[in-house]
Amino acid sequence: MALTGLDIYKQLPKTNCGECGLPTCLAFAMQLAAKKTSLDKCPHVTEEGRAALEGASAPPIRLVTIGTGEKKVGVGNETVLFRHEETFYHPTGIAITVNDDLEGDDLEKRIGAIQSLQFERVGQRIEINLVAIRQGDNSSAARYAEVVKKVMAKLDLPPILMSSSPESLEEALKVCAEMKPLIYAADSNNYEAVAKLAKDHSCPLTVKGNGLEELSSLTEKISSSGIQDLVLDSGRRDMVSTLSDLTQIRRLALRKTYRPLGYPTIAFTSEKDPFQETAQACAYIAKYANIVVLDGAEPWQLLPVLTLRQNIYTDPQKPIQVEPKVYEVGTVIDKSPVLVTTNFSLTYFTVEGDVEASKVASLIVVVDTEGTSVLTAWAAEKFTAESIASAVKKYTVEEKVSHRKLIIPGFVAVLSGKLEEELPGWKVLVGPRESSGIPTYLKNTWKEVSL
Amino acid sequence: MPLELVKEKWTGKINEVTIGATKGEGGTRTSKIVVGGETGLPFLHEEGEMPHRPVVAMEVWDTAPSDWPEVLAAPFKEVMDDPGRWSKKCVEEYGADLLALRLQSAHSDWGNASPEKVSEGVKKVLEAVGVPLIILGPGQDDRDNEVLPRCSEVAKGEKCLFGNATQDNYKTLVAACLADGHSIIGESPIDINIAKQVNILISDMGFPLEKIIMDPTTGGLGYGLEYSYSIIERGRLAALGAGDKTMALPIICRVGQESWRAKEAKAGESDFPDWGAVSERGPLWEATTAVALLQAGADILVMRHPRAVESVRKTIDSLTRKNPLRDSAETLD
Ligand code: B12
Ligand code: SF4
Q: Which CATH superfamily is domain B17-320 in?
A: Dihydropteroate synthase-like (3.20.20.20)
Nearest CA in chain B to A126: B222
Smallest Cβ distance to B221: which of A298, A311, A350? Answer: A311
Per-residue confidence at B2, pLDDT binned at 50, 70, 90? confident
pLDDT tens readout for residues A309-364: 999 999 998 888 999 999 999 999 999 999 999 999 999 999 999 999 899 999 99
For residue A274, list chain B residues with Cβ-Cβ distance below 8 A.
Answer: 280, 284
Q: pLDDT at position A32, please?
A: 86
pLDDT tens readout for residues B132-165: 999 999 999 999 999 999 999 999 999 999 999 9
Segment A171-176 shows an average pLDDT of 97
The CATH class for the domain spanning A5-57 reads mainly alpha
Q: pLDDT at position A363, please?
A: 97
Please tell me the number of the ligand nearest to residue A362's CA: 1
Segment A248-263 shows an average pLDDT of 96
- Rounded to whole angstroms, how far apart are CA atoms A277 and A296? 8
Domain ranges of chain B: 17-320
Q: pLDDT at position A90, please?
A: 98
Domain ranges of chain A: 5-57, 64-312, 326-449
Q: pLDDT at position A2, please?
A: 64
A12 lines ligand 2 (CB under 6 A): yes
Segment B256-279 shows an average pLDDT of 94
- Rounded to whole angstroms, how far apart are CA atoms A370 and A387? 12
Predicted ipTM?
0.94
A162 lines ligand 1 (CB under 6 A): no
Segment B55-75 shows an average pLDDT of 97
Give the per-residue SS3 of chain A.
CCCCHHHHHHHCCCCCCCCCCCCCHHHHHHHHHCCCCCHHHCCCCCHHHHHHHHHHHCCCCCEEEECCHHHCEEEECCCCCCHHHCCCCCCCEEEEEEECCCCHHHHHHHHHHHHCCEEEECCEEEECCEEEEECCCCCCHHHHHHHHHHHHHHCCCCEEEECCCHHHHHHHHHHHHHHCCEEEEECCCCHHHHHHHHHHCCCCEEEECCCHHHHHHHHHHHHHCCCCCEEEECCCCCHHHHHHHHHHHHHHHHHHCCHHHCCCEEEECCCCCHHHHHHHHHHHHHCCCCEEEECCCCHHHHHHHHHHHHHHCCCCCCCCECCCCEEEECCCCCCCCEEEEECEHHHHHHHHHHHHHHCCCEEEEEECCCCCCHHHHHHCCCCCHHHHHHHHHHCCHHHHCCCCEEEECHHHHHHHHHHHHHCCCCEEEECCCCHHHHHHHHHHHHHHHHC
pLDDT tens readout for residues A293-303: 999 999 999 99
Q: pLDDT at position A426, please?
A: 96
Q: What is the mean pLDDT of chain B?
A: 95
- C-alpha distance from B147 to closest chain A C-alpha (Å): 24
The CATH number of the structural domain formed by A64-312 is 3.20.20.20
Instruction: Judge if A5-57 and A326-449 fold alike in CATH terms.
Output: no
Q: pLDDT at position B332, please?
A: 33
Q: pLDDT at position A7, please?
A: 85
Smallest Cβ distance to B295: which of A273, A283, A303? Answer: A283
What fold is seen in the domain A326-449? Rossmann fold (3.40.50)
Residue B214 DSSP SS3: strand
pLDDT value at B252 more than 70: yes
Smallest Cβ distance to B234: which of A84, A212, A275? Answer: A84
A244, B46: Cβ pair inside 8 Å? Answer: yes
Per-residue confidence at B330, pLDDT binned at 50, 70, 90? very low
pLDDT value at B220 more than 80: yes
